[in-house]
Chains A and B, each alone.
Chain A
Amino acid sequence: GAGVSQSPSNKVTEKGKDVELRCDPISGHTALYWYRQSLGQGLEFLIYFQGNSAPDKSGLPSDRFSAERTGGSVSTLTIQRTQQEDSAVYLCASSPEGTTSGGYTFGSGTRLTVV
């Protein structure tokens, strides 16, 4: 497809379980971002991938969060031992190279609910 694809669109998990969220960026986009949008809060930066460079993990809230990007394309965000405060919408975005005058293109997100 032409846009950023995220799966699943919704995920309900029990507290303490691990979850994996997937992002398929626009073909050819070298930059990929993960953001988190909690209820009533602004989007919060989590992690940034640029090409084959080491990712910028400075926004990850704890060591339970990790992400990888295979072959410079698909990315997976993993949350281990989920907590109720992890409930949020997780958004992925991509751009041709970092932040351009055209902004990022966002996916529709994965709504994570931890019960």
Chain B
Amino acid sequence: EDQVTQSPEALRLQEGESSSLNCSYTVSGLRGLFWYRQDPGKGPEFLFTLYSAGEEKEKERLKATLTKKESFLHITAPKPEDSATYLCAVQTITQGGSEKLVFGKGTKLTVNP
């Protein structure tokens, strides 16, 4: 069964204190790994897609990396506005033969000023 596990569940950082979020996965055949950001009361907002081990993507203070078993979301010098829940998902195939995303439970990040 395809599974996505994110750690830690929650992370508190001081403004400017860099850190990383982890996403480990087991999937029969990785078609893509997605990172989303979710703010309270909102739907997830797309950040990155990674397809193969060694691939990296960057956006402002965020950098996502991918290995054969896990992905990291590195946050450099975070600001309070980076506070959100970060979701990781893998693309897989449903029992009906369609594509779907399997999500982890997320990491809730709080950045204090």
Q: Does B43 contact A108, Cβ atoms closer than 8 Å?
A: yes
Whether B43 contacts A48 by the Cβ 8 Å rule is no
Report chain B residues within 8 Å CB of A99.
31-32, 91, 99-101
Q: Which residues of A contact B97 (CB under 8 A)?
A: 56
Q: In the complex the two chains form, is B41's CB within 8 Å of A58's CB? A: no
Chain B interface bracket (under 10, 10 to 19, 20 to 34, 35 or more): 20 to 34
Binds B, one of A35-43, A64-72, A75-83: A35-43
Q: Per a CB cutoff under 8 Å, which of B43, B46, B91, B101 touches A109?
A: B43
B1-31 interface bits toward A, Cβ cutoff 8 Å, 1 = contact, 0 = none: 0001000000000000000000000000001
- Which residues 60-115 of A have a CB within 8 angstroms of B? 91, 93, 98-99, 101-109
| CB-based nearest A residue for B34 | A103
Q: Interface size for chain A: under 10, 10 to 19, 20 to 34, or 35 or more residues?
A: 20 to 34
* Chain A residues touching B, majority SS: loop
Instruction: Tell me the smallest distance from the CB of B55 to a CB of chain A, in Å.
Output: 12
> Quick one: which of B62-113 are within 8 Å of A by CB?
87, 89, 91, 94-106
Chain B contact residues, CB within 8 Å of chain A: 4, 31-32, 34, 36, 41-46, 49, 87, 89, 91, 94-106
Q: How far is the CA of A56 from the CA of B97 in the complex (A)?
A: 8
**Chain A positions within 8 Å of B49 at CB level:** 101-103
Known: A42-B104, A99-B91. A105 touches B46 (CB 8 A): yes
